[in-house]
Structure 1
Amino acid sequence: MFPKNILFSTITLFLVLFGEQQCYAQEKLIFSGAVLDAEEKGLEGANIILYPNDKLKALSFTTTDENGRFSAQVLSNTQYDLNITFIGFEPIKESINFTNSNTFKEFTLKESAEELEEVILNYTPPIEVKKDTTTFLTDAFVNGKERKLGAVLKKLPGISVNRDGDVFFKDKKVDGVMVENKTFFTGQPKMATQNIPADVVEEVQMIENHNDTPFLKEFESSDNLVMNIVLKEGEKRFFFGDIEAAVGHEERYRFHPSVFKYSPTTVHNFIGDINNTQSKSFTLSDYLNIEGEKSPEAILSILNSPTAKFLQNEDYFRNKHLFGGYNFQFNPDDKSELRIFSLGMLDKSFRQDSNNFIYQPSLAVENKTNERNDRNAIFFGKVKYKYTPDLYTVVKADISYNRSQLNVDGTNFSEIIDELREFGTLNELRNDKVLFNLSADKWFSGNNVSTASFSVENNNEALLDSWRSDTNIFSPQIVLEGTDRFGVKDIGNAKTTNFDFDLKHHYRPKRTRMLTFGLNGKIYRNNIENSAFQVIGENESVSLDGFRNDFSNLLTELNNSLSHKLYVGGNFIFDVGLVLQNISWTDKQFSSVSNFSDSRFLPIGKIEWNFDEKKSIKLSYNMSTTNPDAQSRLSGRVIDDFNRVVLGNSILEQPVNERALFSLSLFKTYGISFYAKLGYRKHKDPIVQSISSDGINVNVSPFQLNGDFVSYDATIRTRYNRRYWKLSLENSFFQRNGISIFNGLQQFNNSLNINNNLEFTTNFEEAPNIEFETRNSFLEYKNPSFTNITWSTDIDFSIVYDYKDWKFDFSIYQNFYNNRSQRNQSYFNLIESRIFYRKEDSPFEIGIELYNLGNSARQISNRYTSVFFVENSKRLFPRTIMLNVNYKL
């Protein structure tokens, strides 16, 4: 009950603090009109800013539409200073007092022979909205004491940055980052927010519906949101950056240089990181960004890959981390662009975990502790070339190489009904991947545009899993000879060669109508070999019967598509299409051959109603298929763990998914913004895991159900932005029905997840600023033999105060965990504090940094799979005290 009381008290506190303002809120009025030129023609894109004389009240900002008309909300009985600006015209400045009624007024701008005067008031941020681009002039937001780009972004209205460095604008996650219109490393926001110095940023541009080929923007819809950083003029020809160094007790250290150079023709970026603290520069999310995949099927494939499973272990007790990245770009002229970047990581870490497993459906309990030494080496390099011979042609080519060598050595203790067993594990992975992409975009005329892209990928993977124990701890399915010491190895190799192509032609006979013809396909070849052995003595091994696979697969897919997009009245967009999919694959395992082929129509549709640049409603529907991965179709058994054996299913077919989504977006720079999403998904003939178990020993095999199952999701987010503070409330809901198969019996299951997030931040110029966030999560899973109900509450609080040349930063993260089903409760906190001193105009900064000040030892969480429920207790990184010296280049 404690987390509930805290959440209730928090909400009450905010109502007390800010409710008084709402009780005495003034009536909102509409100020509308038109901005015209001397010939009484409307001017599109003119900026109208209304500054209240009372600085505690929010400004009102809008732009004119294609007819020169505008509408803005103002407060009654309030005096405003009105500023109207438009490039090439003299600005209008006047004072307006709004009484108790709506106001309409027309303004006529005079052409200016001089350059437009820049109007900036020191207490308000200048913001320019032009079609899909929102530009923020950062000097109006910052006080000059921000260190990195992330601190600047947090002060911009409508923009938020989470703990992982991800950036959000208008309820959308930023997909990529550019600096001076050039991609920054991999384009991921984290590297930019945590490394680009704050004092070199002139403007932040949020570009919606971004397309790397400008002329395609008129023909292809894009949900990409890209952030472009414009540097101050004096930083465009010189080196800039930071060199951060720190030492601490217990021989802790950190060295973090980030150096940048931008010029009209060349770009040099270097980021390095050497430390043995809690920080890591490369995580699983960074690996996903490098892969660049966005489709759910592709992301799921990456997450299930051995590399991702190695990298997802991000919690450790000790750590040695070495990271380096270099980015180079050369633009000799307007036609050519060469880009080379590489990332490398060497990582050693030590983990300690305790796990309580409850296996399905036997409900057998295993208490397991393990200690793991991880040694990971990853290299990624890419060369990209872009050629633009004219305004109507773009050709792009790139080649990348990714090499991973990952190793985990573990010591494990397993307790089952008072029987304690010790065993060791070793997991090794070596992966080499080469990817080549080629694309061309051509604008033939005002009505015709064609695009073509081709890619070839070659991936080689070698995997070793081994277990060793003084006793026979293995599943009865793994039949072993009697010996003094039991050891098992599972050795596998996988080779994949993929070829993809995508051809499109857009034909726009009228401004309000567009037809798109598409042809895309893939040819995938997989070869998988794996064998399991019993290790006897030092050099002798015996092959295990039934644990061998020699599998090859050839998959071909061809999709023909036609879509029709209709623009109605400038605000409505109707987009409907149909895809004819033809797919076939042939699997060969030893002398056995199986085939699958199918053809189906896949409809897609989307309706958009854009009231203006800030308000929209969207309704979309699509039908899609997923291909069962090659590993799930193996006919030989594979050892997944000492007590778990996996057998494939050679007769799996394509599951079909239907997805409908309704979304509403009402955005305001200042005031209330509202976002809502309602989703429905139907899973037809889904593939689930069939579980056969005896105690903790489990056999797993994929099984294709015959029937439809549905899931629902909803998200509602409300943001209230004021000049000096922001408030956000988000509620999300996810519910899914399904079927579990235990020992041959099908059982219905239901999962429910409800999350509630409350955030409050301030942005005062002189006073201390706070960030407060509370996240409450409810998880429920039920099947006839097992129920799990878990409540979790996270509270984040931080306070930052810039006093003269000093910067004080204090934060606390508090977690409350309550597993009602297992009657287990716990809580822990992480307290951090930083004190820095930098004299104005000095390149040096010194400070003290403290991590886990309370020295919390463990954090508890849980998860549920088709095989087991597990409650995990991980050992946290211990208290760390660091002395920092930073130098600004």
Structure 2
Amino acid sequence: MRIILLFFLFSVYSFSQTTTITGIVSDTLNKPLENANIIANPFDTKVQLKFAIADNKGRYRLELEKEVKYKVTVSYIGYKEESLVIEPNSSLTSHNFVLKSTGQQLKEIVIKHEYKPVVIKKDTMTFTIKSFANGNERKMKEILEKLPGVEVDKKGTVTVQGKKVTKMLVEGKSFFGGGSKLAVENIPADALDKIEVIDHFNEVGFMKKVSDSEDLAMNVKLKADKKNFIFGDVEAGAEIANDNGFYLAHTGLFYYSPKTNLSFIGDSNNIGKSTFTFDDLMRFDGGFSSFLSGRKPLTNLMLFSTDNTDVLENKSNFSAINSSFELSKKLSINSYGIFSKGITKKIIENNNQYILNDNSIFEISNHQRNNRSTLGIINTKLDYSPSKNEKWFYNFQWQANNNKGNSQLSSITNNNSSLFETINKADNTSIKQYIEWHKSINNSHTTTLVVNNSFEKSTPSTQWNTNQQFLAGFIPLENDSFYKVLQNKKVENHTVDALFKHYWLFNNFNHLYTVLGNNFGKAKLRTHEEQLLTDGTINDFSNKGFGNAITYLLNDSYLGLEYKFKIGKWTNKPGIYFHQYHLKTEQNETNSIDTFLIQPQFNSDYEFSQAENVSFNYKLNNSFAEVSQYANQYTLQNYNLVFKGNALLKNEQFHNAGLRYVKSNMYRGIMLNAFVNYSKKTKTIRNQVQLAGINQFITPVVTNNPETTWRIVGSLSKKIYRFTLKFTPNFNWFEYIQTVNNITETVERNNQNLGFSAKTSYKKWPDFEVGYKKGFNQFKSQTHSSFQTDEFNAQVVIPFQKSFVFKFEYEKFKNSSSNQKNYFDLANTSLSYQKKNSPLRIEIFANNLFNTKIKVNNSFSDYLISNQRTFILPRLIMLNLSYKL
């Protein structure tokens, strides 16, 4: 409360020292000039420049210091500049600018001025960094958070006016596959000159007019003095309190020249810090052309991408190198290599309630897991342009990872107690490659050809050790004094995908696209389970319904037609795709399916202005299950779960529709992004469940029972004086039909979240942000369950004495249901010291300041209600030194 009151008093004082000028920018015909730039240049060089951008009605708003003299200049494409001098303590509060045409038709905005804070073209917005930075920023992330309409979350995901950045570039070149976190957390802030935000991005220039890309790219322009020599920083930290042995070492080194770009990032720590996000890792894992829908990866890479603070122990080593070489004007090569190794120890306690038809079974479990994971990726991409109207790409990727784990589980139920040890390991390798060819034949005809090829292999093995029989009646155990069950798997996937697309442009308002393609996939799955008896003999499960040996082949040949037409500001693209599917599975019996399916789709977009548009998308999809779901023998999946596939599965079919509305108004300080999505499955693959106590038997079936999902997501921010207020609602409704123990019921799973936040947006103030989120969760089936969540967070960044910066972050989480309440709070803080223009920075920081021991979470599923307690890293206090090159 004291902090809020202090900021209120400070704001009252600050408002009294400023004045606001509003008005309209128009031409001589009284037509408003949208996106006109209004720049107030102070005569006093110690005062910061002010700027504004006119909205779609030509309105602008400038906030100026009262006692400063300004020259206000207005610029717009094809018009002569107009200027106005505002004297100190002027009483002027409104002024309209009328610009005269130059008579020239320019293709882009050119502002002749020493500063260009924001320049807006049709699909590109450029920010000049020195107009927003105050010199205290260390990394690119801190710069982006000060740009209007730009946000960076804790995972390094960047959004601009509510839209996610999907491609990160530095000097026009892809930065480590285009992921955002490696860039925003490693590129030094003082290396940035400009930030370009490019909507509808396509790396093939002549394809942009036909590709309908939804990618949003962010291109980093470096300062001239950061080119042609190495820059970056190195840092090291060690614990200065307690004796947990915490440490941190990190480096980011960069070299950029016109023809050669090199980047290296290295990190080693045991404080739970992850270097990249799952989105970044999925981009590295992809290896597929963006023109073809990516297939699901064979291996689970989540272990390499999450911040492992929810563990008791963590050791992480990471290194990555990115290189780009321009071999000639026509040929360039871009490569990156990734190596990651992690060792973690995790403890989770669960209070589980298994919901049966007539009663419930309660289980208390304690799960301790040690895991060791290693990952290596090498990716190389060739870019060849034989002419300005032709482009070739070739991409090759090799990946290997190894996972080893050992876990101990104690399970106590109403009438039983068990101890389990699980030992597992998996070796996974993959080779992926694709080739792309694009050709602009003339102004009316353009073609694209893409071929993907991939091979993946995985060999996981698991051993369960326990002191007594388990899954009685589900697995064929023989009596023994101690029980050991071993499972070996082998999975191979081979895919070849090809696509040819022709773009026929009748004129600027009518296009016809023709698509011809084929997706081929072949998979082999082998599973084997056996019991290792203490007398040295083996109880083989193969003769008792276990053990799978299946070959799976799925081919999808398709022809598609898309017609794109534009009427004024309204753009539509209806389409229809004809698919011929052939599915064949060979195991102890052979089954095949041949089916012809029609899949319509429709896209529509209406652009009210450059800052406001609404779009609608609809698509009918069909999909087939993966190989494991067709394997018709039993497979042991967990200490209390047996799975059996279904060789007779057919395709799922679902309708998907989405409506999005986006509006930004810098005059009123409003950013609005709203999205509504509706999905309905008419043919559904859903697991049928048999429960016996805590033991579960699951098998998938195809039904005509509908599944319906509604999702509403919104973000509304409003700037009021020196503050930005934000409201983020999120609503989800999910209804489906589930069969448990031969009883079929309708299930409803709903949740609603309402988020509110406020932060300062004035360079002379400390950065202060406070937020609150309220969540409601409901589950309705055989039983009713609900719980609520409350999340409060606050953070402040206070520079003082020119060389010091204090940071504090606080988060409190509360989880409450009808019979219990749980909460935990976390706090991190730091104090850093760095003299201006000094390369050395000293920091003391503390994570988990209150030494919180556990995090709590509630969840529910079709037959399970769970309260989970996760043990986390203890408080750590470290001294960190960093040196800027």
Q: What is the TM-score of this pair, normalised by structure 2?
A: 0.91
Q: Deviations over 1:324-361 (max 9, x none)?
A: 00011101232111011111111111101101222243
**1:835 partnered with 2:841:** no
The residue that corresponds to 2:58 in the other structure is: 71
Structure 1: how far apart are the matches of 2:100 and 2:258? 41
The residue that corresponds to 2:731 in the other structure is: 733
The residue that corresponds to 1:346 in the other structure is: 341
The residue that corresponds to 1:67 in the other structure is: none
The residue that corresponds to 1:61 in the other structure is: 53
Root mean square deviation, CA, Å = 3.5
**1:327 partnered with 2:322:** yes
The residue that corresponds to 2:258 in the other structure is: 264
- How far does residue 111 in structure 1 lie from its aligned partner after superposition? 8.9
Corresponding residue SS for 1:186: helix
Counterpart pick for 2:155 among 142, 149, 164: 164
The aligned amino acid for 1:92 is: E
The aligned amino acid for 1:93 is: S
- How far does residue 284 in structure 1 lie from its aligned partner after superposition? 3.7
Structure 2: how far apart are the matches of 1:259 and 1:311? 21
Structure 1: how far apart are the matches of 2:735 and 2:501? 38
The residue that corresponds to 1:3 in the other structure is: none
The aligned amino acid for 2:213 is: S
Corresponding residue SS for 1:547: coil
Q: Which moved more, 1:787-796 or 1:285-294?
A: 285-294
The aligned amino acid for 1:325 is: A
- How far does residue 766 in structure 1 lie from its aligned partner after superposition? 3.4
Q: Tell me the number of residue pairs that the alignment of Structure 1 and Structure 2 aligns.
A: 859
Structure 2: how far apart are the matches of 1:830 and 1:30? 47
Structure 2: how far apart are the matches of 1:506 and 1:855? 61
- How far does residue 74 in structure 1 lie from its aligned partner after superposition? 4.8
Counterpart pick for 1:255 among 249, 259, 265: 249
Corresponding residue SS for 2:178: coil
Map residues 703-722 of structure 1 onto 2, 5 A cutoff: 703-721=701-719
- How far does residue 744 in structure 1 lie from its aligned partner after superposition? 1.6
CA distance change for structure 1 residues 335 and 167 in 2, over 3 Å: closer, same or farther? same
The aligned amino acid for 1:153 is: L
What is the aligned-residue identity percentage?
22
The residue that corresponds to 1:31 in the other structure is: 24
Structure 1: how far apart are the matches of 2:305 and 2:141? 25
Counterpart pick for 1:845 among 827, 838, 841: 841
**1:85 partnered with 2:67:** no
- How far does residue 521 in structure 1 lie from its aligned partner after superposition? 1.6
Structure 2: how far apart are the matches of 1:791 and 1:12? 30
The residue that corresponds to 2:230 in the other structure is: 239
Map residues 617-636 of structure 1 onto 2, 5 A cutoff: 617-636=614-633
Structure 2: how far apart are the matches of 1:582 and 1:95? 70
The residue that corresponds to 1:567 in the other structure is: 566
Map residues 28-427 of structure 1 onto 2, 5 A cutoff: 31-34=24-27, 47-49=36-38, 51=40, 60-62=52-54, 71-74=58-61, 82-85=72-75, 91-94=81-84, 105-109=98-102, 118-119=112-113, 126-248=117-239, 249=241, 250=243, 251-282=245-276, 284-292=278-286, 301-302=296-297, 305-308=299-302, 314=308, 315-361=310-356, 363-417=360-414, 419-427=416-424
CA distance change for structure 1 residues 863 and 677 in 2, over 3 Å: closer, same or farther? same
Structure 1: how far apart are the matches of 2:399 and 2:623? 26
The residue that corresponds to 2:557 in the other structure is: 558
Structure 2: how far apart are the matches of 1:728 and 1:832? 23
Structure 1: how far apart are the matches of 2:95 and 2:231? 51
The aligned amino acid for 1:398 is: N
The aligned amino acid for 1:446 is: N
The aligned amino acid for 1:355 is: N
Q: Which moved more, 1:139-148 or 1:712-721?
A: 712-721
- How far does residue 773 in structure 1 lie from its aligned partner after superposition? 2.4
CA distance change for structure 1 residues 247 and 14 in 2, over 3 Å: closer, same or farther? closer
- Kept in 1, the 8 Å contact 2:55–2:665? The answer is no
Q: Which moved more, 1:717-726 or 1:220-229?
A: 717-726
- Kept in 2, the 8 Å contact 1:551–1:588? The answer is yes
- How far does residue 479 in structure 1 lie from its aligned partner after superposition? 1.6
Corresponding residue SS for 1:219: helix
Map residues 282-681 of structure 1 onto 2, 5 A cutoff: 282=276, 284-292=278-286, 301-302=296-297, 305-308=299-302, 314=308, 315-361=310-356, 363-417=360-414, 419-537=416-534, 540-544=537-541, 545-569=544-568, 571-590=569-588, 592-669=589-666, 671-681=669-679
- Kept in 1, the 8 Å contact 2:82–2:97? The answer is no
- Kept in 1, the 8 Å contact 2:32–2:58? The answer is no
- Kept in 1, the 8 Å contact 2:39–2:49? The answer is no
Q: Deviations over 1:618-658 (max 9, x none)?
A: 12211111211111111001101121110111111111111
Q: Deviations over 1:225-270 (max 9, x none)?
A: 1110000001011100010100114221111011000001111100
Structure 2: how far apart are the matches of 1:203 and 1:724? 24
- How far does residue 50 in structure 1 lie from its aligned partner after superposition? 6.0
- How far does residue 287 in structure 1 lie from its aligned partner after superposition? 2.7
Q: Which moved more, 1:734-743 or 1:94-103?
A: 94-103
The residue that corresponds to 2:856 in the other structure is: 860
- How far does residue 88 in structure 1 lie from its aligned partner after superposition? 9.5
Any unmatched runs of 5+ in structure 2?
none
- Kept in 2, the 8 Å contact 1:90–1:111? The answer is no
The aligned amino acid for 2:725 is: L
Any unmatched runs of 5+ in structure 1?
1-5, 65-69
- How far does residue 106 in structure 1 lie from its aligned partner after superposition? 3.7
Structure 1: how far apart are the matches of 2:246 and 2:535? 39
Corresponding residue SS for 1:685: strand
CA distance change for structure 1 residues 242 and 102 in 2, over 3 Å: closer, same or farther? closer
Structure 1: how far apart are the matches of 2:74 and 2:409? 70
- Kept in 2, the 8 Å contact 1:201–1:229? The answer is yes
- How far does residue 291 in structure 1 lie from its aligned partner after superposition? 2.9
The aligned amino acid for 1:773 is: G
Q: Deviations over 1:89-119 (max 9, x none)?
A: 864312599999996734244999xx98753
- How far does residue 374 in structure 1 lie from its aligned partner after superposition? 0.7
- Kept in 1, the 8 Å contact 2:431–2:456? The answer is yes
Corresponding residue SS for 1:552: strand
Structure 1: how far apart are the matches of 2:8 and 2:560? 53
**1:811 partnered with 2:796:** no
The aligned amino acid for 2:794 is: F
Corresponding residue SS for 1:686: strand
The residue that corresponds to 1:789 in the other structure is: 786
CA distance change for structure 1 residues 316 and 294 in 2, over 3 Å: closer, same or farther? farther
Structure 2: how far apart are the matches of 1:300 and 1:365? 39
- How far does residue 44 in structure 1 lie from its aligned partner after superposition? 9.4
Corresponding residue SS for 2:469: coil
- Kept in 2, the 8 Å contact 1:307–1:429? The answer is no
Q: Deviations over 1:711-744 (max 9, x none)?
A: 2121222111368432211111111211110112
Q: What is the TM-score of this pair, normalised by structure 1?
A: 0.90
Q: Which moved more, 1:500-509 or 1:670-679?
A: 670-679
- Kept in 1, the 8 Å contact 2:847–2:876? The answer is yes
- How far does residue 473 in structure 1 lie from its aligned partner after superposition? 2.6
Structure 1: how far apart are the matches of 2:253 and 2:65? 49
- Kept in 1, the 8 Å contact 2:25–2:58? The answer is yes
Corresponding residue SS for 1:533: strand
Corresponding residue SS for 1:855: coil
Corresponding residue SS for 2:211: coil
Corresponding residue SS for 2:182: helix
CA distance change for structure 1 residues 762 and 26 in 2, over 3 Å: closer, same or farther? closer
Q: Which moved more, 1:280-289 or 1:349-358?
A: 280-289
Structure 2: how far apart are the matches of 1:98 and 1:232? 40
Q: Deviations over 1:370-394 (max 9, x none)?
A: 1111100011110110001111000
Structure 2: how far apart are the matches of 1:585 and 1:434? 24
**1:743 partnered with 2:741:** yes
CA distance change for structure 1 residues 35 and 440 in 2, over 3 Å: closer, same or farther? farther
Structure 2: how far apart are the matches of 1:190 and 1:117? 32
Structure 1: how far apart are the matches of 2:680 and 2:8? 40
Structure 2: how far apart are the matches of 1:149 and 1:313? 20
